[in-house]
Amino acid sequence: MSARTAHVERNTLETQIQVRINLDGRGTGRFDTGVPFLEHMLDQIARHGLIDLDIQAKGDLHIDAHHTVEDVGIALGQAFDQAVGDKKGIRRYGHAYVPLDEALTRVVIDFSGRPGLDYGVTFPRARIGDFDVDLLLEFFRGFVNHAKVSLHIDNLKGVNAHHVAETIFKAFGRALRAALERDERMADITPSTKGVL
């Protein structure tokens, strides 16, 4: 059974990012992005997805967090695309509902090879601390385009913006875990009627 790991470096004039992942990890995370709320959300992906994540980023935070958050999403998507490989033997589809007190979110993912994002989230306020919640859409858009997945995120209820965000990332991690799980009956089979993804 081959290791499902990846190391991606993405360097632009705006950001320098390194991502290391192990899809068959234990949920450990190490983050240094300069954006504490983003790191809190990335930790939810690691813990709930049982994915080891190490993400180091330096960005133009003196302007704002936009480039850093978006580019972390892009680099993480690239890392997933590399680590998943030919997708043989994975379940391909995953979904999760996650509550946190009054908030509830559903996330559904398909490692289809075709990027697509349906983002049904309305936050009750524009900021969580000093974090602009609009940046979460940019994170997921970057991830989807580079991981080449179809992703549906629907926040079904919630009045606390922090709770809403946390249910999104916890459900995302759990949906990833379900989709990437190996199915013994599909061992060397690509999970597609086309025979390729």
Length of the chain: 197
Alpha-carbon gap, residue 71 to 68, rounded angstroms: 5
Please give the pLDDT value at position 195. 67
Please give the pLDDT value at position 185. 82
CATH number of 5-186: 3.20.20.60, 3.40.50.1100, 3.30.360.10, 3.30.230.40? 3.30.230.40
Please give the pLDDT value at position 142. 98
Please give the pLDDT value at position 2. 77
Tens digits of per-residue pLDDT, 136-180?
A: 999 999 999 999 999 999 999 999 999 999 999 999 999 999 999
Helix axes 36-49, 134-147, angle to 10 degrees: 50
Alpha-carbon gap, residue 179 to 97, rounded angstroms: 14
Please give the pLDDT value at position 1. 62
Contacts of 182 (CB under 8 A, 6+ apart): 1, 89, 90, 91
Please give the pLDDT value at position 91. 94
The dihedrals phi and psi of 74, each to the nearest 5 degrees, come to: -60, -50
Enter the tokens of residue 88: 């043989």
Mean pLDDT, each 10-residue run in order, the chain (197 residues): 91 97 98 98 98 98 97 98 93 97 98 97 97 98 98 98 98 98 81 68
